[in-house]
């Protein structure tokens, strides 16, 4: 019987990318002890929990998302005792702990794949997608990989192709196989027994592709692509009708996973979904009481922050969401940092852009994932080609520079070696020099800093039910003004944002007064209207 109290609904999760968060042992790579060292800092932000990206044993071809063992901590991060200590300390501080579970593939170094590739008759021969070549030796169909090229790779031992939808080092698990489903569910139970509070389920759009291996249809050139990242990737020339999850068939597995989670108590399932129509995919996986609890929404993570884009994204999701629940994000370990996605990039406005992004994100209806460094206002780093690590970026450089620019180490101390991230070793990615001035210790000393603002706005959200759970309604506005209401049974709020680099004025519809718990406005109330400075905003409360 379920005892879930829906802790995830309206929650703010802080995403930690371990390699770049804090290096405790001086080897240049962030680790679990480094996270423990800074957990009080995270808790002091006022977030509800942490989401830790993969720290499992891995050859690190794709930042740990190529898992070689689901039940072992990779030595670069520590060991299982370190994880237990981390989880214990987080719970002591009132933080929930969510970890990544990669459902759709493993590393090619995983023992399951090593056994599967031995021959066509071993016990795990069909734990992955294997297929014969066509008569001419080419792959069995036309499916393409996210990271470029064919999604099929020849294995000389089995004399067959195997499917890998991302990189060749990430063979796709065959979840049509009951034994594979059970193995994944048993893995989840293993971590539930270690008292995690939930899972962020990676790339669920890839967990159950077409068993018949039918060709994807061509995407006509006049159809706009919904590819998450704007790169010259032939992947975008197909409708991923068959290479991605078959939705009708996947429902049984989703319901089984949800039932398992609910019977174990307060376990939250956060689905990462993307596809040809990310709107429909995101909603599908979290719609109803028998699917995943909420979906991780890419609506804002790649787009420029403009009035048109923001309004269109909110309206699209709100018109279709029904009883599903979104978990918004403005940035992540995969996406360019938010302050670098405004059309105007005047360095003098970086603090204001950062604060606007935080205020906008935390005013939306849904839960939220705050990516590490977002609370500092960090911009996207420039990483030289010789320092790049990202397999995706290396494939498409220089037109696409990959994801390393949002993964550089967190600056903890402005004047310290490696900005306090690593005391001795050369960091696995360079600390971005312009980030030093945004270091935590420098912002602690400045009461007007982005960090202080983030803490204050998180407190405001936590203590304002209408911001966490209320309905939302977009208002018509001129210029670069974004305005919407958030309302519940007792309170109506008016949230107004200037997404441009020039001052704007707007007459307020109705009688409102400033919400006194909002820490920063860059806004004046005059003659029943608002005057918003560049990237200014205000949160107002209806006077009844």
In this structure, the dihedral spanned by the alpha carbons of residues 53, 58, 61 and 65, taken in order and rounded to 10 degrees, is -30
Q: Look at residue 223 in the predicted model and tell me its pLDDT.
A: 55
Walk across the sheet containing 160-163 and list its strands: 130-131, 160-163, 152-155
The residues annotated with a catalytic role in the active site are: 202, 272
Q: Look at residue 4 in the predicted model and tell me its pLDDT.
A: 57
Q: Look at residue 424 in the predicted model and tell me its pLDDT.
A: 85
The Cα 159–Cα 117 span in angstroms is 9
Q: Look at residue 237 in the predicted model and tell me its pLDDT.
A: 87
Q: Look at residue 486 in the predicted model and tell me its pLDDT.
A: 97
Report which of 82, 102, 96 is spatially closest to residue 30, judged by C-alpha positions. 82
The Cα 438–Cα 377 span in angstroms is 7
Tell the CATH topology of 12-104+176-459. TIM Barrel (3.20.20)
C-alpha pair distances (Å), 366 with each of 52, 121, 263, 372 = 20, 48, 24, 19
The Cα 201–Cα 418 span in angstroms is 33
CB 119 within 8 A of CB 180: no
Tally of CA atoms within 13 A in the half-sphere of 87 that contains its CB = 17
Strand partners, 73: 56
* DSSP of 166-211: S-TTSPBB-TTSHHHHHHHHHHHHHHHHTT--EEEEETGGGSS--T
Burial 24-36 (b: 16+ CB within 10 A, else e): bbeebbbbbbbbb
Q: Look at residue 2 in the predicted model and tell me its pLDDT.
A: 45
CB 340 within 8 A of CB 301: no
CB 242 within 8 A of CB 209: yes
Q: Look at residue 278 in the predicted model and tell me its pLDDT.
A: 79
C-alpha pair distances (Å), 293 with each of 91, 275, 433 = 21, 19, 40
| Structural tokens at position 449 | 């800093």
The Cα 212–Cα 242 span in angstroms is 9
Q: What is the pTM of this model?
A: 0.96
| Structural tokens at position 313 | 């994204």
Per-residue model confidence as pLDDT tens for the chain (544 residues): 345 589 999 999 999 999 999 999 999 999 999 999 999 999 999 999 999 999 999 999 999 999 999 999 999 999 999 999 999 999 999 999 999 999 999 999 999 999 999 999 999 999 999 999 999 999 999 999 999 999 999 999 999 999 999 999 999 999 999 999 999 999 999 999 999 999 999 999 999 999 999 999 998 874 555 544 455 788 888 999 999 999 999 999 999 999 999 999 899 999 998 878 878 888 999 998 899 999 988 788 889 999 999 999 999 988 888 888 999 999 999 999 999 999 999 999 999 999 999 999 999 999 999 999 999 999 999 999 999 999 999 999 998 999 999 999 999 999 999 999 999 889 999 999 999 999 999 999 999 999 999 999 999 999 999 999 999 999 999 999 999 999 999 999 999 999 999 999 999 988 998 888 887 678 988 888 999 999 999 999 999 7
C-alpha pair distances (Å), 326 with each of 84, 281, 331, 412 = 29, 12, 15, 31
**Structure-token match 């940092």, residue found:** 337
The Cα 124–Cα 180 span in angstroms is 9
List CB contacts of 412: < 8 A, sequence separation 6 or more: 22, 38, 419, 420, 421, 439, 440, 441
Return the CATH number of the domain spanning residue range 470-542. Answer: 2.60.40.1180
C-alpha pair distances (Å), 23 with each of 333, 442, 477 = 18, 19, 47
Same fold, 12-104+176-459 and 470-542: no
- How do the domains of the chain map onto residue ranges? 12-104+176-459, 470-542
């Amino acid at each position: 019987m379920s005892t879930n109290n829906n802790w995830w609904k309206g929650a703010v999760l802080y995403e930690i990318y371990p390699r770049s968060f804090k290096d405790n042992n001086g080897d240049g790579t962030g680790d679990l002890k480094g996270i423990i060292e800074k957990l009080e800092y995270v808790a002091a932000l006022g977030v509800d929990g942490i989401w830790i990206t993969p720290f499992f044993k891995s050859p690190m071809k794709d930042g740990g998302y190529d898992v070689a063992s689901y039940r072992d901590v990779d030595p670069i991060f520590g060991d299982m005792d370190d994880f237990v200590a981390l989880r214990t300390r987080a719970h002591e501080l009132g933080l929930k702990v969510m970890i990544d579970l990669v459902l759709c593939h493993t590393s090619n170094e995983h023992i399951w794949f090593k056994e599967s590739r031995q021959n066509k008759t071993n016990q795990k021969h069909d734990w992955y997608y294997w297929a014969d070549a066509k008569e001419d030796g080419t792959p069995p169909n036309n499916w393409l990989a996210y990271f470029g090229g064919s999604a099929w790779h020849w294995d000389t031992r089995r004399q067959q192709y195997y499917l890998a939808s991302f990189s060749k080092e990430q063979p796709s698990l065959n979840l049509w196989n009951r034994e594979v489903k059970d193995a994944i569910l048993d893995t989840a139970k293993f971590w539930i027994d270690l008292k995690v509070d939930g899972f962020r389920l990676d790339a669920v759009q890839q967990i159950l592709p077409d068993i018949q291996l039918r060709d994807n249809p061509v995407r006509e050139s006049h159809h706009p692509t919904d590819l998450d990242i704007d790169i010259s990737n032939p992947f975008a020339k197909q409708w991923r009708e068959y290479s991605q999850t078959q939705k009708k068939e996947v429902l049984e597995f989703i319901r089984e996973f949800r039932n398992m989670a609910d019977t174990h108590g307060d376990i939250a399932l956060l689905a990462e979904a993307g596809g040809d129509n990310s709107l429909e995919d995101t909603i599908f996986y979290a719609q109803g009481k028998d699917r995943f609890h909420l979906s991780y929404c890419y609506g804002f993570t790649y787009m420029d922050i403009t009035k048109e884009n923001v309004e269109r994204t909110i309206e699209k999701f709100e018109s279709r969401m029904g009883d599903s629940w979104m978990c918004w994000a403005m940035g992540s370990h995969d996406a360019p940092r938010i302050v670098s996605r405004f059309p105007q990039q005047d360095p003098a406005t970086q603090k204001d852009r950062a604060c606007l992004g935080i205020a906008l994100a935390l005013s939306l209806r849904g839960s939220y994932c705050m990516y590490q460094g977002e609370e500092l206002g960090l911009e996207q780093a420039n990483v030289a080609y010789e320092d790049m690590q990202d397999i995706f970026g290396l494939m498409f450089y220089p037109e696409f520079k990959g994801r390393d620019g949002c993964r550089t180490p967190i600056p903890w101390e402005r004047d310290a070696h490696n900005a306090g991230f690593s005391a001795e070793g050369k960091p696995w990615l360079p600390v971005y020099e312009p980030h030093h001035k945004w270091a935590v210790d420098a912002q602690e000393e400045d009461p007007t800093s982005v960090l202080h603002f983030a803490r204050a706005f998180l407190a405001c959200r936590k203590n304002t039910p209408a911001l966490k759970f209320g309905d939302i309604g977009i208002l018509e506005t001129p210029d670069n003004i974004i305005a919407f209401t958030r309302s519940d049974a007792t309170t109506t709020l008016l949230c107004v944002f200037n997404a441009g680099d020039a001052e704007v004025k707007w007459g307020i519809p109705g009688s409102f007064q400033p919400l006194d718990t909002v820490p920063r406005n860059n806004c004046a109330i005059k003659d029943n209207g608002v005057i918003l400075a560049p990237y200014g905003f205000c949160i107002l409360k209806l006077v009844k």
